Chains A and B, each alone.
Chain A
Amino acid sequence: MILLDRVTKTYSKALGPALNRVSIHIEPKEFVIVVGQSGAGKTTLLRLLTREERPSSGKIIVGGIDYDKLKDKDIPMLRRKIGVVFQDFKLLPNKNVYENVAFALEIVGASGYEIKNTVPKVLQIVNLKGKDKNMPLELSGGERQRVAIARAIVRQPKILIADEPTGNLDPKHAWDVIKVLEKINRFGTTVLLTTHNVAIVNKLKRRVVTLEHGKIISDRAHASYKL
């Protein structure tokens, strides 16, 4: 599903590579956690997968799409196949919960009927039923993050990338978000989660890839993690 082969990304020669010959292979329906300190290269890794950045060298293949052959005009099509959740939610403040989720469908030309049918179902999956008229500022951090997850999965992507989705949340809300991600994974979506929340990593008992200074220092199934 996701293949990175000796991927290097250098922003500036003086600073050295943000990612250094990183190779990962993620199977369909896997739940993989990428851990590491700030500056380890987690966000760079995710930005390469969403094609916000190009690698300096190496090969990336996601869902059968070889990024070397991907033209700039095809990037929107790639992003429609990947759901992304951000630490800072990235919700539109002037749209309510329903509209924020519907927005992901609107930009791909979904009909009003399709939107009316799909959005309530997705809001139910992320346990936000009844909150559809609320504005983002009226919600708690955990609820906002679940809106962001709903928006990411509303187009039923095969892959969901979550970049520190619990970074701004207290433990209770953080765990609510993780439970939603697990539920989505059970439906068959490949989930790639970055975090440095040790408690979550140890409780989930999933495959853990550890990054340090842009290099993978461990890649173990059902692993626990220590800072």
Chain B
Amino acid sequence: MKRAIITFFRILQTGIVNFIRNFSISIAAIAVMVVTLTVLLLSLVVNATFSNTISQITAKIDISVYLRNRDTPSQTTQLITELKSLPNVQSVQYLDKSQVLKQYEVQNANNQQLALAVSETSNPLPATIHIKPKNLNNIENIKSFLVKPNIKDLQSNPPSYSGSLEKAINNITHATDVLRELGIVAVVVFGVICALIIFNTIQMAIFNRRDEIQIMRLLGANKNYIRGPFIVESGIYGFLAAVISVVIINSLFVTASSTLQATTLGLLNISYATSYFDNHFLILLTLQILIGIMIGAVSATIATRRYLKFKLKP
């Protein structure tokens, strides 16, 4: 056990020394890893920002069902129960005529003429049910329920679907999906390029150290002792690349929000993205470091398995 610990620290030390010694040939590997991890981090932050934008807009949208004045309380209760049981319904809120009037007065507090017109009559506003769907892209079942003849009979006017906002949300959702898919494709493509460049770097390092490796083998060094420093070296590439990528993204947001004083960049809410990045800084940094080390270590393991022949042929 003691020997295993000593060997582990020697592998670590050799890996660090080799990294310093071969820094010049590792620059390409680190650079491409920085690009990969930057794209990944940007995708994560952009995705979180878009999700927030969509949920903010979605929260403002509902379906309003206007009831007739002659509907009985039991009819209304039954309708609310049936609406709640629909699969895509998140919440149902019932407002009676007086509550609707109060809401109207609050909403039109600045328009005295409108407020006066309503107060002077005997409250023409109908009792209303507000339905919040779970997913705005899938409200067909709610629509079809509301047009059933027996349900339609309970309504004074056709329901309101906040039509224009729904369309806007559909567009944003679609754009987010496309960007998310592009992000995944970019991360995969850069990940593969990254792995290939690390393969190449490790192959060069193995070639440069072929005499040393041969001597190590002849002296009885085991596979892990020979392979370990290469894996440590690639892990260091990943660690450095992760830190650099976090610094790049941080600088990008700082520049966008302070120097350019921008709050949005196209669909991207810079303020939210910056605060999301700040609030999740440690998690994102840890995630980036783990992913970077994993890409480096896995690539080096595969490369050493491929280029360090450990099997003998008879």
Interface residues of A (CB under 8 A from B): 50-56, 72-73, 75-80, 84, 90, 92, 103-104, 106-111, 151
CA distance A78 to B218 in the complex (A): 10
In the complex, B6 has a CB within 8 A of chain A:
yes
Are A72's CB and B216's CB within 8 A? no
Are B223's CB and A73's CB within 8 A? yes
CA distance A71 to B218 in the complex (A): 16
Are A92's CB and B212's CB within 8 A? yes
Contacts of B217 in A (CB 8 A): 76, 79
With A52-B218, A79-B218 known, 6 other A-B pairs at CB within 8 A are A51-B312, A56-B314, A72-B311, A73-B223, A109-B3, A109-B10
In the complex, B2 has a CB within 8 A of chain A:
yes
Closest Cβ of chain B to A12, distance in Å, is 13
Are A72's CB and B312's CB within 8 A? yes
Given contacts A79-B218, A90-B218, A104-B219, contact A72 B310 (CB under 8 A): yes
Closest Cβ of chain B to A112, distance in Å, is 8
Are A107's CB and B220's CB within 8 A? yes
Interface range for B? 20 to 34
Closest Cβ of chain A to B13, distance in Å, is 10
In the complex, B51 has a CB within 8 A of chain A:
no
CA distance A34 to B197 in the complex (A): 48
**Would you list which residues of chain B between 265 and 314 have a CB under 8 Å from chain A?**
310-314
Are B6's CB and A76's CB within 8 A? no
Are B10's CB and A106's CB within 8 A? yes
In the complex, B215 has a CB within 8 A of chain A:
yes
Given contacts A90-B214, A90-B215, contact A108 B220 (CB under 8 A): yes
CA distance A52 to B313 in the complex (A): 10
Given contacts A54-B312, A72-B311, contact A111 B212 (CB under 8 A): no
CA distance A92 to B209 in the complex (A): 10
